Amino acid sequence: MAPRSLVLTATVLLSCGALFSAFVPAPLTRSSVSAPAAFSAQTAAALSAAVLVTPTVAFADDSSVWIPALSAVGAGFAIGLAAIGSGVGQGIASGRCIDGISRQPEVADDLRGVLLLSLAFMESLTIYGLVIALVLLFANPLIK
């Protein structure tokens, strides 16, 4: 029996073919800026083939490199976005705190305490991103 992903891929291809053959194509109009139709059709066909083959390759038996590779990319995005978001948030919070202290120096102690607490919460979100990245790299549940 064929693998489930191949059967599903064939089913999707046949249903899309039946769906698109049910409609009458609109007449083509010439445009002075449009790209050649052959090039766009070849590009669309190549992209469609790549998208349809990717699940088959990703779930291949014992020879798959897609899941670890995409897990490494996901780990990079997780730690990168967490660090960028936390850094921007900490910079904005620190700047607002300095503005508040410069306007009212008598509340500097209260603002400093609230700032340190909020910076700790922001940094914890970065640590969560690091944990997600480490899980994707070293304890990935998608890899058998």
Q: Tens digits of per-residue pLDDT, 20-69? A: 665 555 566 665 555 554 456 667 777 777 666 665 555 555 556 777 88
Contact assessment for residue 81 and residue 129, using Cβ atoms and an 8 Å cutoff: yes
CATH of residue 107's domain is 1.20.20.10
Structure tokens at 140: 């990935």
What pLDDT was estimated at residue 131? 93
More confident residue, 95 or 9: 95
Closest to 118 measured CA to CA, from 144, 100, 141, 143: 100
What pLDDT was estimated at residue 13? 74
Residue 61 is assigned to a structural domain of this protein = no
Residue 23 is assigned to a structural domain of this protein = no
| Average pLDDT of the chain to the nearest whole number | 78
Residue 38 is assigned to a structural domain of this protein = no
Closest to 75 measured CA to CA, from 142, 125, 124, 131: 131
What pLDDT was estimated at residue 7? 73
User: Which single residue is written with the structure tokens 């897609």?
Assistant: 66
Quick check: 2 pLDDT over 70?
no
Residue 11 is assigned to a structural domain of this protein = no
Distance in angstroms (rounded) separating the CA atoms of residues 1 and 120: 55
Residue 110 is assigned to a structural domain of this protein = yes
More confident residue, 96 or 142: 96
10 Å CB burial of residue 133 (0-12, 13-18, 19+) is buried
What pLDDT was estimated at residue 61? 54
Half-sphere exposure in the Cβ direction for 54 (13 Å, CA): 11
Q: How many domains does the chain have?
A: 1
Contact assessment for residue 78 and residue 132, using Cβ atoms and an 8 Å cutoff: yes
Beta carbons within 10 angstroms of residue 97's beta carbon? 18
In the chain, the DSSP E strands lie at none
Structure tokens at 55: 């699940």
Start-to-end Cα distance in the chain: 22
State the residue range of the domain holding 82: 66-138
What pLDDT was estimated at residue 128? 93
Residue 74: band (very low, low, confident or very high) from pLDDT cuts 50, 70, 90: confident
